[in-house]
């Protein structure tokens, strides 16, 4: 390339689709009663960046749009579909989101790999029962009772 040739602007600028995605992010966020700061914290950006996404001045990358959809409890496809109606999230969608969260961590991938190497279905079932029992126990105090402190003397 010689010095006489004009330089091309390599930065991709937002287009109408990007602006529509921003409008839909804002619509879903406000429908859920979230402010920009709350959404920003959930997706790991500043509230100013959320403003730029919603105003269509910045494009939303694929991984960030996935995080936005997760935070707003809707499928990524809802930001693209015509009609503008957000689908209710159901058990199938929630399970899919849970699976994606597990697969996004190294521990999750190792756990799944180890689980899949267990060929005995009875052993697998016992492992699932154990994990379910453990997670339930960790979500509530022992015996469901509040722990009282002894009064100081």
Reported residue count of the chain is 153
**Band (122; pLDDT cuts 50, 70, 90):** very high
What average pLDDT does the segment 93-108 reach? 71
Q: Quote the number of domains for the chain.
A: 2
Identify whether residues 61 and 97 lie together within a single domain: no
Identify whether residues 21 and 44 lie together within a single domain: yes
**Band (84; pLDDT cuts 50, 70, 90):** low
> Is residue 151 situated within a structural domain?
no
- Does residue 11 register a pLDDT over 50? yes
Q: pTM, whole model, 2 decimals? A: 0.51
**Band (109; pLDDT cuts 50, 70, 90):** confident
Could you tell me if 29 and 72 are in contact, meaning their C-beta atoms sit under 8 angstroms apart? yes
> Is residue 69 situated within a structural domain?
yes
The encoded tokens of residue 119 equal 């060929």
Identify whether residues 25 and 59 lie together within a single domain: yes
Domain that holds residue 37: 16-79
> Is residue 123 situated within a structural domain?
yes
Identify whether residues 101 and 121 lie together within a single domain: yes
- The whole-number pLDDT of residue 40 equals 96
- The CATH number linked to 64 is 1.10.260.40
- The whole-number pLDDT of residue 103 equals 72
């Amino acid at each position: 390339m010689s010095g006489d040739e004009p330089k091309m602007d390599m930065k991709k600028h937002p287009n109408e689709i990007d602006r529509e995605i921003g409008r839909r992010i804002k619509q879903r966020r406000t429908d859920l009663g979230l402010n920009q700061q709350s959404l920003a914290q959930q997706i790991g950006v500043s509230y100013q960046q959320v403003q730029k996404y919603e105003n269509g001045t910045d494009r939303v990358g694929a991984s960030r749009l996935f995080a936005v959809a997760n935070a707003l409890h809707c499928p990524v496809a809802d930001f693209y579909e015509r009609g503008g109606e957000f689908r209710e999230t159901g058990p199938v969608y929630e399970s899919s989101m849970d699976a994606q969260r597990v697969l996004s961590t190294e521990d999750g991938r190792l756990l799944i790999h180890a689980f899949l190497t267990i060929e005995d279905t009875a052993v697998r079932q016992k492992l699932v029962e154990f994990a379910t029992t453990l997670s339930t126990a960790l979500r509530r105090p022992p015996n469901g009772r509040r722990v009282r402190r002894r009064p100081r003397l």
